[in-house]
Structure 1
Amino acid sequence: MVNFVHNPQQAAPSILNKVNMEAIEEFCRQIYYCDPYTSMHAEHVAELMAGLASQMCMSADEINLAYIVGLIHDVGKIKIPNDILTKPDKLTDEEFGIMKLHSEYGAQILAGIDGAEAVVPIMRHHHERYDGRGYPEGLAGHTIPLLSRMLTVCDAFDAMTTNRCYRRPVTLEECIAEIRRFAGSQFDPEICNLFIEFLEERFGIVAVTADCRP
Structure 2
Amino acid sequence: MNEPVQSNVPIIDKVNMDAIEAFCREVYYCDPYTSMHEEHVAELMAGLASQLGMNSNEISLAFIVGLVHDVGKIKIPEYILTKPGKLTAEEFSIMKEHAEQGAAMLAAVEGADFIVPIMRHHHERYDGNGYPSGLSGISIPLLSRMLAVCDSFDAMTTHRCYREPVTLEASVEEIRHCSGTQFDPAIAEVFIQFLKERFGFSI
Output the TM-score relative to the length of structure 2: 0.95
Determine the C-alpha separation between the residues in 1 that align with 2:174 and 2:8: 32
Aligned match of 2:162: 166
Aligned match of 1:126: 122
Paired amino acid for 1:101? E
In structure 1, stretches of 5+ residues that fail to align are: 208-214
Determine the C-alpha separation between the residues in 1 that align with 2:201 and 2:86: 31
Aligned match of 2:78: 82
Determine the C-alpha separation between the residues in 1 that align with 2:201 and 2:151: 20
Deviation string, structure 1 residues 21-44 (Cα, Å, up to 9, x no partner): 111211221122120110110011
Task: Quote how far apart the aligned CAs of 1:12 are.
Answer: 5.3
Determine the C-alpha separation between the residues in 2 that align with 1:158 and 1:165: 14
Task: Quote how far apart the aligned CAs of 1:49 are.
Answer: 0.3
Output the TM-score relative to the length of structure 1: 0.91
Determine the C-alpha separation between the residues in 1 that align with 2:8 and 2:60: 9
Question: Contact (CA 8 Å) 2:4, 2:58: kept in 1 or not?
Answer: no
Deviation string, structure 1 residues 27-70 (Cα, Å, up to 9, x no partner): 22112212011011001100000000000010011111101110
Aligned match of 1:6: 3
Paired amino acid for 2:134? G
The counterpart of 2:133, out of the listed 127, 130, 137, is: 137
The counterpart of 2:146, out of the listed 150, 166, 170, is: 150
Q: Which stretch of structure 1 is more off in the superposition, 140-149 or 162-171?
A: 162-171
Determine the C-alpha separation between the residues in 1 that align with 2:8 and 2:107: 18
Aligned match of 1:212: none
Question: Contact (CA 8 Å) 1:49, 1:151: kept in 2 or not?
Answer: yes
- Identity rate, percent: 67
C-alpha RMSD over aligned residues: 1.3
Q: Which runs of 4+ in 1 moved over 3 A?
A: 11-15
Deviation string, structure 1 residues 105-127 (Cα, Å, up to 9, x no partner): 00000111111000000000000
The equivalences for 1:175-190 within 5 A come to 175-190=171-186
Q: 1:13 to 1:25 in 2, by over 3 A?
A: farther
In structure 2, stretches of 5+ residues that fail to align are: none
The counterpart of 1:91, out of the listed 84, 87, 90, is: 87
Question: Contact (CA 8 Å) 1:13, 1:62: kept in 2 or not?
Answer: no
Determine the C-alpha separation between the residues in 2 that align with 1:113 and 1:135: 23
Aligned match of 2:104: 108
Partner SS, residue 124 of structure 2: coil
Determine the C-alpha separation between the residues in 1 that align with 2:90 and 2:120: 20
Partner SS, residue 43 of structure 1: helix
Question: Contact (CA 8 Å) 2:72, 2:98: kept in 1 or not?
Answer: yes
Deviation string, structure 1 residues 119-177 (Cα, Å, up to 9, x no partner): 00000000000000000000000000000000000000000111123212111111101
Partner SS, residue 187 of structure 1: coil
Q: Which stretch of structure 1 is more off in the superposition, 44-53 or 25-34?
A: 25-34
Question: Contact (CA 8 Å) 1:13, 1:65: kept in 2 or not?
Answer: no
Paired amino acid for 2:131? Y
Aligned match of 1:31: 27
- Give the total of aligned pairs: 202
Determine the C-alpha separation between the residues in 1 that align with 2:153 and 2:49: 15
